[in-house]
Amino acid sequence: MNIEHHSRKIAYRNPCGAVCCGTTVKLRVAVESYTVPETVECVVGGEAVRMYYIMEINHNRIFECKVKMPASEGLVWYAFHVRADGGEAWCGNNPEFLGGIGRTYSERPDKFFQITVYDKDYKTPDWMKNAVVYQIFPDRFYRAGETEFHGIRREWGETPYYKASQFGGEYTSDDFFGGNFAGLREKLPYLKDLGVTAVYLNPIFKSQSNHRYNTGDYETVDPLLGSNEEFEELAALFKRNGIRIILDGVFSHTGDDSRYFNKYGSYDSVGAYQSEDSPYYDWYNFSDWPDKYESWWGFTTLPNVHEMTDSYLDYIVRGKNSIVKRWLKKGASGWRLDVADELPDEFIKELRKAVKAGDKNAVLIGEVWEDASHKISYGKQREYFWGKSLDSVMNYVSRDAILSYVMSGDAPLFLRRLSSLYENYPHEALYSCLNLISTHDVPRALTILSGAPSVDAMTREQQAYYVIPPAELALAELRLRMAVAIQMTIPGAPCVYYGDEAGMSGYTDPFNRACYPWGNEDKDMLDFFKRLIALRKKYQCLRTGGFLGVFSYEDMAIYMRCISGGKDVFGKKAEDGMILVAVNPLESGADSITLDMDRYGVTAAADALTGEPIPCSDGIIELKIKPMSFVIAELERSDDSPIILD
């Protein structure tokens, strides 16, 4: 007996993908058996729903049922159970848990198909869906004018300190290069020329360290960067020039050297470490006050906070002049939440209310490394995309898929991984994702794509002075171009980590946080980034168009972005357009492919970057794509009728 269900084809599931509360979903299954099935059921959660025979196709009996989604948001899991041929079988999700085509099992499967059910009022900012984001580690981007240094002053371009002895015996991350707000102002023309429309800043608040994830004072900009007033001026200047600023919110812990904990008496406040009568005492969990307390991942410099403590909630979230509201008033356009999976759902929901009350168009992005639609942390199903929590997340899932693909060339797996996100994430969330390939927490893409030894195989000393050999560098640059081509053409907001466009490489912290190499940029790579960003901004279908027709050919990954019928995936009026993307990461082999695009009414094609025509006759496209390269093609259609694909 064989049972077939494909969760991304409307012939089997209609509508596909995530749905609003109360939506009725039609589910079908094809059963191939010698005898007429005795029973065919769709098991939704713990309930068996009878399915009815409707037709036979190619010796497969098709059964159907309709399931109304719950009135409240959450996840719905389903599988199919069939009794026939004197036995029974199940159809559930595939072992990869990626949705799409399922698997027949002899016993009840562990993995069911997923339907994400979200609140009908779930809405994310339109500007975010159209954004090109640039992530900046403030201390390392650009230093302008005189600045007030604290910690260890370093000269621009030196290797960041990476061992305890360099800090005097204890690893304190307090070597500073002096990047500041004045530098950001001075480099505004650069950012505009690059084409970015939003900047995500790693933490800017007063702190002892260069990364500033051990917050000292949420109310005050680190004086090395500038002042509160300078931030307001910077945000206003950037916004006038079409660039928004997203701040990094570190709300799961503070620094021990902070006005709230005040372990070293650096502040004029009475901190929790100093007195049990401190107004901040209830924020922390002491097992034996003052020296034994709960801390983030065991780092005593980062005491954890109880986010749901009333006084903490009032200070950070609920108060009229709470931290999240205050900085929105000063010009920020949203927050990225550090370690979102360590923040209670209830806290994130309260924070969302505060953010949207402060600015309905502000964005709330979470640091989540896995598929955020079904993420479980600390034994609890997270509610990120149910409509009352995050707008979106940092898309580490697509990062892993992209980098793995351009390295290995497994196109079917790559496309299944992207399609799984398209299936599981509500469009409001997916199209607002930060699509990244490098960040401050992972090795830079160029280093990974060069095939450099893994972090575990290198000492810190070796990592610090590792230089990618010329042959490997040339290969890495070709792979990076393919990765960026994908990053700029899939749903979500591409996020460029400062310096990737200049050819920067580096292992993990602190080597991925080196100074931007002003004057020594890879000009060819920089020009490439500019052209790809401009391409994304040119075509609306690359921003809010559907993600269609994914397939592979000899490890070439091919997909389309499309707006047809005058409306994008959100039902908003938009210019029709169709872009086809083909990527060939193999170092040798086929360099051409024939594509039958007649079913979409395609009449002509041209290279979207060069304008050169691509042979097209009767809907048949002859696509030339060399090994280790890509083609982005603009397609023309014979009519503007909506395209419906399964």
Same structural domain for residues 411 and 512?
yes
Torsion sign across C-alpha atoms 587, 506, 145, 331: positive
Rg from Cα positions in the chain: 26
Q: What is the pLDDT of residue 198?
A: 98
User: Does 265 map to a domain?
Assistant: no
| Cβ(560)–Cβ(489) below 8 Å | no
Average of pLDDT values for 415-442? 98
Residues 362 and 489 both lie in one domain = yes
Mean pLDDT of 129-136: 98
108 and 187 share a domain? no
Please pick, among 41, 175, 367, 500, the residue that the annotation labels catalytic.
367
Residue 646 lies in a domain: no
Cα–Cα distance, 596 to 470 (Å, whole number)? 40
| DSSP 8-state class, residue 130 | T
Q: What is the pLDDT of residue 645?
A: 56
Kindly state whether residue 60 falls inside one of the protein's structural domains: yes
448 occurs within a structural domain: yes
| CATH label of the domain that carries residue 552 | 2.60.40.1180
- Say if residue 549's pLDDT is above 80: no
Q: 231-245: per-residue pLDDT in tens?
A: 999 999 999 999 999
SS3 380: strand
The predicted structure's pLDDT at residue 546: 96
* Boundary-marking domain end, from 93, 118, 143: 118
185/334 same-domain check: yes
pLDDT for residue 646 is more than 70:
no
Q: Give a yes or no: residue 261 inside a domain.
A: no
Do residues 207 and 342 share a domain? yes
Give the tokens for residue 277.
């009568």
Mean pLDDT for the stretch of residues 42-48: 93
CA angle 122, 125, 126 (to 5 degrees): 115
What are the helix (H) ranges across 371-469? 396-408, 411-424, 427-430, 445-449, 460-464
85 domain residue, yes or no: yes
What pLDDT digit, counting tens, does each position of 559-584 carry?
999 999 999 999 999 999 999 999 99
Same domain, 239 and 153: yes
Q: What is the DSSP letter of 335?
A: E
Question: Is the dihedral angle over the CA atoms 329, 201, 428, 379 positive or is it negative?
Answer: negative
* Domain membership flag for residue 296: no
Rounded Cα distance, 620 and 630, in Å? 19
- Candidate from 64-78, 375-389, 629-643 with smallest mean pLDDT: 629-643
Alpha-carbon distances, residue 318 vs 303, 321, 353 (angstroms): 22, 8, 9
The more confidently predicted of residues 549 and 575 is: 575
Burial state string for 441-477 with b = 16 or more CB within 10 A and e = fewer than 16:
ebbbbbbbbbebeeeeeeeeeebbebebeeeebebbb
- The per-residue pLDDT for range 489-542, each reduced to its tens digit, is 999 999 999 999 999 999 999 999 999 999 999 999 999 999 999 999 999 999
Is 217 a known active-site residue? no
Active site residue 345: no
- CATH number of the domain at 235, please: 3.20.20.80
Q: What is the pLDDT of residues 209-223, one digit of tens each?
A: 999 999 999 999 999
HEC letters along 310-332: HHHHHHHHHCCCCHHHHHHHCCC
Q: How many domains does the chain have?
A: 3
What is the mean pLDDT of the segment spanning 352-380?
A: 97
190 pLDDT more than 70:
yes
Q: Measured at the alpha carbon of residue 573, what is the angle toward residues 570 and 578, in degrees to the nearest 5?
A: 80
**CATH number of the domain to which 51 belongs:** 2.60.40.10
Query: Do residues 106 and 171 both lie within one domain?
Result: no
From the list 4, 139, 256, 338, the catalytic residue is 338
Q: Where are the alpha helices (DSSP H) in 560-619?
A: none
The larger pLDDT score, comparing residue 316 to residue 640, is at 316
557 and 507 fall within a common domain: no
644 pLDDT band (50/70/90 cuts)?
A: low
Are residues 585 and 479 in contact, defined by beta-carbon separation less than 8 angstroms?
Answer: yes
Domain check: are 66 and 161 in the same one?
A: no
- Is the per-residue pLDDT at 558 higher than 60? yes
Report the pLDDT value the prediction gives residue 138, as an integer from 0 to 100. Answer: 98
Residue 302, both tokens: 């980062």
* In-domain check, residue 295: no
Residues 257-272 pLDDT 10s: 999 999 999 999 999 9
| CA end-to-end span of the chain | 25
> Do residues 74 and 104 both lie within one domain?
yes
Q: What pLDDT shows up at residue 643?
A: 78
Task: Please state, in angstroms and rounded to a whole number, the distance separating the CA atoms of residues 350 and 388.
Answer: 9
d(CA 605, CA 602) in angstroms, rounded, equals 8
Sorted by sequence, the CB contacts under 8 Å of residue 28 that are 6+ apart come out as 5, 11, 12, 13, 54, 62, 63, 64
**Rounded distance, CA 56 to CA 161, Å?**
69
Quote the pLDDT of residue 465. Answer: 95
pLDDT bracket for residue 184 (50, 70, 90)? very high
Residue showing tokens 């931030």:
231
Domain end position, chosen among 515, 536, 557: 536
What is the DSSP track for 490-504?
SSSEEEEETTGGGT-
Average pLDDT score over residue span 85-113 = 97
Extract the tokens encoding 510. 């602190």
Mean pLDDT computed over every residue of the chain: 96
| pLDDT at res. 181 | 98
Of 70, 86, 118, the residue at which a domain comes to its end is 118
**Residue 544 and residue 529 in one domain:** no
Q: What is the DSSP letter of 303?
A: B
Asked if 170 and 192 sit in the same domain, the reply is yes
Confidence of residue 587 (pLDDT cuts 50, 70, 90): confident
* Residue range 316-347, pLDDT digits in tens: 999 999 999 999 999 999 999 999 999 999 99
Residue 550, pLDDT score: 76
Q: How far apart are CA 199 and CA 495, in angstroms?
A: 9
Residue 594 structural domain? 540-637
Find the range with the poorest average confidence among 191-195, 584-588, 613-617: 584-588
